[in-house]
Structure 1
């Protein structure tokens, strides 16, 4: 299990006893460093992470103080495979990147995609499940870091895609009933992701819950019509057609 992470409330096991849990500024800076391990991050980027568009006059000094606290925490941990180096007007957080959860997640996701492309469904399922198990909440949970919002959004999108691939493979290999509770949560969190909705409809229908599957379609149609003045897309409509014809749709 990675001992550094941002897929949920940020954590850093070797540094936790030194930094504690309530020092928000240190955690914002450390989260920015964990987001880009072994890469240069300018001091200005760290200032943006902490204050976004309205830094105080003492911003640079405060960031330097936080970096000093993190450097002392690294020293106190006794780790010789981790460092925080000053490079020009910025810093590099040197660490084995596979100790950080979002790096491991992206690697497992890529491996799962490759296994799926090769037709290795069981291997792909296991890799998706391991990747999804790394998530403990939303990215940077508990911190508001606008300058890192695009990175957080990309990870959240990758998480949603991984979940839907996992659900689709589970249904295709006869495990649809086992993922219905997770699919219900997924669709509740992403009610307008039509691929997830189609998968939930398929899984419910496959378990003989055709009325529930149709109700899922109706809810989506209502949301789209009320909010965007559009109807469900092609995949969801085709899934409904197959269900109404009494067949079990094959997940895409």
Structure 2
């Protein structure tokens, strides 16, 4: 299952070795920061930081001047935007020193020798979690996803105002929720429904129209002997969807509701395998 699918874990990207080039590490899973040998370095004013974030997300590819302006300022840039771009590029070159190279290629700007290290590490943890899950190692898969979650320090590129980054922020919020849902599904499958009921209640309150979270909450409640609460959670979700979207719950949620009503024995946790 990929992150582009409703319940998956996979992320695109290579699983490179951990660590930053030349002692310089960049992080985007929270406020943008750059660390040289563990010490944070100043990156200049917010728009200069936004330029750096956009360049990091190109992963070594060139981005044209017009595309960079559109990414950072949108369709109505200030009149003196060309001077601003040149100023911010010069400022970034000074800040990064010789550890990374920011050049004009003739057709655009390219940043090399710099990676969003926390994104790369997260891809690796999630891909390894997927492999573990596919091998039936649910506990290890959960531990790997927790490692990926620990890399988050806030919202993606938190605090930086730029159209491109705003879109990326939404995309990464969705990716984060999808991985979280997969982790919680694994924990419930391991028989840990009781421990995660409260977390699921909180998540449903924070994302009231997200049906997968309601589905997991209903299953966790049912497996802890709270079938009436599971049915109540369904009815509350049905009402929210009707009021907000004029829609009924989707097939997976309706199917789980029907199975709980008939007390489908297949919904109960599997008995532990005896140790010989």
TM-score normalised by the chain length of structure 2? 0.78
Change (3 A) 1:141 1:238: same
Name structure 2 gaps, 5 residues minimum: 1-17, 20-24, 270-276
Q: Which of 200, 220, 235 is the aligned partner of 1:183?
A: 200
Partner of 2:83: 61
RMSD (Å) for aligned C-alpha atoms: 2.5
Q: Contact 1:49/1:148 (CA < 8 Å) preserved in 2?
A: yes
Is 2:63–2:110's contact at 8 Å kept on the other side of the alignment? yes
- The match for 1:170 is 187
What's the secondary structure of 2:109's corresponding residue?
strand
Aligned to 2:253: 236
Contact preservation (8 Å) 1:34, 1:100: no
Q: Is the 8 A contact 1:172 1:250 kept in 2?
A: no
1:180–1:92: structure 2 CA closer, same or farther, 3 Å change rule?
Answer: farther
Aligned equivalent of 2:262? 245
Larger helix proportion of the pair:
1
What CA distance in whole angstroms lies between the structure 1 residues aligned with 2:248 and 2:254?
Answer: 9
Aligned residue for 1:159? 176
Contact 2:100 2:113 (C-alpha < 8 Å) held by counterparts: yes
Map 1:42-81; keep pairs closer than 5 Å.
42-75=64-97, 81=99
Over residues 126-151 of structure 1, what are the superposed CA-to-partner deviations in whole Å (9 max), with x where a residue is unaligned? 22111222222322222232134443
Q: Indicate the residue corresponding to 1:41 in structure 2.
A: 63
Pick one of 71, 78, 85 that aligns with 2:103: 85
Q: Distance in 2 between matches of 1:186 and 1:200?
A: 9
Segments of structure 1 that go 5 or more residues without pairing to the other structure are none
TM-score, length of structure 1 as denominator length: 0.85
Q: How far is 1:107 from its partner?
A: 2.9
2:156·2:168 contact (CA, 8 Å) conserved in 1? no
Q: How far is 1:250 from its partner?
A: 6.1
Residue 81 of structure 1 and its aligned partner are, at CA, apart by 4.1
